[in-house]
Amino acid sequence: MCGIVGYVGSRPVTPILLDGLGKLEYRGYDSAGVAVWNGDRIEVEKAKGRLSVLRENTCGGVHPVGCIGIGHTRWATHGKPSDINSHPQTSGTGRTAVVHNGIIENYYELRQYLISQGVQFVSDTDTEVVAQLFEYYYNGDLLATATRVVGVLEGSYALGILNADHPDTMVALRRDAPLLVGVGEGENFIASDVAAILKYTRDVYYIDDKEIALVRKQGVEVYDQYGRKVDKELRHVDWDVQAAEKGGYEHFFLKEIMEQPEAVRATISPRIKNGRVELEIPLSDEDIRKFDKIYIAACGSAYYVGVAAGYLLEELLRVPTTVQLASEFRYQNPIVDEKTLVIIISQSGETADSRAALREAKSRGATTLAVVNVVGSSIAREADMSLYTWAGPEISVATTKAYSTQLAALYLLAIKMADARRSITDERYAELVRAVEALPTLIERALGIKEQVQQLAAKWFSAEHVFFIGRNTDYAVTLEGALKLKELSYTMSEAYAGGELKHGPISLIEDGTPVMAVMTGARLFDKTLSNVKEVLARGASIAAIVGESARDISTEADCILRVPDCEPLFSASLSVIPLQFLAYYIASLKGCDIDKPRNLAKSVTVE
């Protein structure tokens, strides 16, 4: 998705903008640009394509020359990727320049109105409407103009604005799209993602919806939508800069796979004290006992974490648990009330549909709990309580360590809730705590499967489609495995619950069709094995992920991938590892852009 970075200070701005945009590349984009006050006018450089094109056009950041500017990476929504549609967009006079993340939903009406007033448009973007509108309303006062603009824009936006009459000020405003102000010494920043400015400062103000920030070299002022001054709390971000660098790995995706033991340890360890799960969320045992229903809503891999957690919560709590895609939940008139716990899972904390689902749940009186990675993100701030996953920055568009830490956080939550409801015995509680504590070490051992999966990838990489089957938690993990393979290697891949095979998908199995069976659960091992035999009889080439103590199935499977045995309810944490490697190695062999797959974005902040 789009990225914003802006700077005001004493240093040459263009290299800082290019550097910041480089840190946002991982989010996915199709064009990039900068606007800089060059002492005389606002100079814009922008181009379709990778940041390297912009770097070339600006001679590596030598020009435009100035000490205040805004930059953008665009992921097209309104208007195809092109030089003209790239941001910054300017007003007709060129005296106002705007970068924008999000979608202006009433752009068409505004555009028609401005055209009727004689304004001429050059791009197809909704963003140009903001630049033209700002100029149209401009009355010499930046704040007054910004409040007027906020009053009429509908939709989602994070905006960075420069105006030639005020060459010392960046205007930043937002609604439903992330934006923060970075505070330095004698210099200040704006960014849609803290990764863009982490190198320069860790002190930030998170701008809230409909707030307007005036950012100057000497300081930052924040106002509400009516122009009243707001006191903001300066927050310190303690993410490690190194964590956002590749550190010798060829790809962030591989680096982040290998970081999983540590990330999961960071999520689990501080929350187990003397054999007890202690979570920092304000959820009393009494609150927990009140719930008669749980909903989980999320998107993408976070939704698949939800599918695994759904099995776990129902099993341990005996409370009806529904797992729903956030994009469906928000429009389905969900049966949610004061006795419902709604869990929103999101790495970024900014996914538009997940955020809307959260609001929907809140409006119906539910207790909302967010499982989030990015501290200070919109979902984290809006939910009644947040359980952070402490995975550190995840740069690869396709998730690995965020997925694993989300699972771990939900295991802890489920154990705590089951204990509060007395739906498990003390012995089972102690057993589950030990099982969760063992996970980081087991994940570390599971990583040892890398080379074996690499060999499998060499056999399967030219396959047109790959099937994944499993049951219960094993099924949940196949959903993630199939998604990873699609995302990274553009291979058609589908996950089916083992029992569903005969209801259609088996008709697609022919000689050599690759089928990955995940069968770590002892209880349903034989059931899935029957499904394996059914596809084997139709010529499928089988690989199976099993527990290390599972019996030999070499007559059925060509490739047996053994992962450490663990508590069956937590098995997704281990069986996902070979699936991540499979996607990685198949994508490598196919020469795909692993960290930034085509058309995908890290954080989907528009609906």
Segment lying near ligand G6P (by CB under 6 A), choices 239-247, 251-259, 342-350, 424-432: 342-350
127 sits near ligand G6P (criterion: CB under 6 A): no
Helices (H), 490-555: 525-536
Segment lying near ligand G6P (by CB under 6 A), choices 55-63, 255-263, 467-475, 598-606: 598-606
* CA pair distance 93, 122, nearest whole angstrom: 12
397 sits near ligand G6P (criterion: CB under 6 A): yes
**First-to-last C-alpha distance (Å) of the chain:** 12
Q: Which residues pair with 189 in a beta bridge?
A: 7, 182
**One character per residue 441-480, x = contact with ligand G6P (rule: CB under 6 A):** ----------------------------------------
602 sits near ligand G6P (criterion: CB under 6 A): yes
260 sits near ligand G6P (criterion: CB under 6 A): no
Q: How far is the CB of 383 from ligand G6P (least distance, A)?
A: 13
**One character per residue 288-317, x = contact with ligand G6P (rule: CB under 6 A):** -----------xxxx---------------
604 sits near ligand G6P (criterion: CB under 6 A): yes
Of 55 and 486, which has the nearer Cβ to ligand G6P? 486
Q: Tell me what percent of the chain is helix, strand and coil, each rounded to the nearest 5.
A: 40, 25, 40
346 sits near ligand G6P (criterion: CB under 6 A): yes
- CB-based contacts of 501: which residues, under 8 Å, 6+ apart? 469, 531, 534, 535
Query: Which position's Cβ is nearest ligand G6P?
Result: 300
| 67 is annotated as an active-site residue | no
Q: How far is the CB of 129 from ligand G6P (least distance, A)?
A: 27
Of 58 and 406, which has the nearer Cβ to ligand G6P? 406
- CB-based contacts of 328: which residues, under 8 Å, 6+ apart? none
| 23 is annotated as an active-site residue | no
Site size for ligand G6P (CB under 6 A): 16
Nearest to 572 by CA among 395, 316, 307: 307
Encoded tokens for 158: 């994070």
Q: What is residue 326's DSSP assignment?
A: H
Peptide bond into 64 cis (omega under 30): yes
Q: Given 2, 67, 559, 566, which residue is catalytic? A: 2
8: alpha, beta or left? (left if phi > 0; alpha if psi -120 to 50)? beta
Encoded tokens for 385: 């309580």
Q: How far is the CB of 352 from ligand G6P (least distance, A)?
A: 9
Q: Given 48, 484, 596, 602, which residue is catalytic? A: 602
513 sits near ligand G6P (criterion: CB under 6 A): no
Q: How far is the CB of 255 from ligand G6P (least distance, A)?
A: 16
Q: How far is the CB of 474 from ligand G6P (least distance, A)?
A: 20
399 sits near ligand G6P (criterion: CB under 6 A): yes
* CA pair distance 513, 499, nearest whole angstrom: 19
User: At 56, which helix (H) or strand (E)?
Assistant: helix 51-57
Segment lying near ligand G6P (by CB under 6 A), choices 178-186, 208-216, 274-282, 391-399: 391-399
Residue whose tokens read 């509108």? 133
Taking CA 146 as the corner, what is the angle to CA 140 and CA 147, rounded to the nearest 5 degrees?
Answer: 115
Residue whose tokens read 């699936």? 579
* CA pair distance 261, 256, nearest whole angstrom: 10
Segment lying near ligand G6P (by CB under 6 A), choices 84-92, 229-237, 346-354, 528-536: 346-354
User: At 2, which helix (H) or strand (E)?
Assistant: none
Q: How far is the CB of 576 from ligand G6P (least distance, A)?
A: 13
Q: Output phi, psi for 136, to 5 deg.
A: -65, -40
603 sits near ligand G6P (criterion: CB under 6 A): yes
605 sits near ligand G6P (criterion: CB under 6 A): no
Of 322 and 351, which has the nearer Cβ to ligand G6P? 351
600 sits near ligand G6P (criterion: CB under 6 A): yes
Q: How far is the CB of 1 from ligand G6P (least distance, A)?
A: 9
b/e sequence 454-477, b meaning 16+ C-beta within 10 Å:
bebbeebbebeebbbbbbbbbbbb
* CA pair distance 32, 54, nearest whole angstrom: 7
Of 182 and 597, which has the nearer Cβ to ligand G6P? 597
Half-sphere exposure of 370 (CA within 13 A, CB side): 31
Segment lying near ligand G6P (by CB under 6 A), choices 10-18, 206-214, 246-254, 347-355: 347-355
Q: How far is the CB of 603 from ligand G6P (least distance, A)?
A: 5
Nearest to 206 by CA among 186, 177, 228, 185: 177
Of 367 and 399, which has the nearer Cβ to ligand G6P? 399
Q: Which residues pair with 385 in a beta bridge?
A: 369
Segment lying near ligand G6P (by CB under 6 A), choices 243-251, 341-349, 417-425, 474-482: 341-349
Nearest to 335 by CA among 292, 380, 287: 292
368 sits near ligand G6P (criterion: CB under 6 A): no
- CB-based contacts of 479: which residues, under 8 Å, 6+ apart? 304, 307, 468, 495
348 sits near ligand G6P (criterion: CB under 6 A): yes
Residue whose tokens read 């304004």? 119
Active-site annotation, residues:
2, 602
Residues of the shown chain interacting with ligand G6P in the complex, contacts defined by CB under 6 A: 299-302, 346-348, 351, 354, 397-399, 600, 602-604
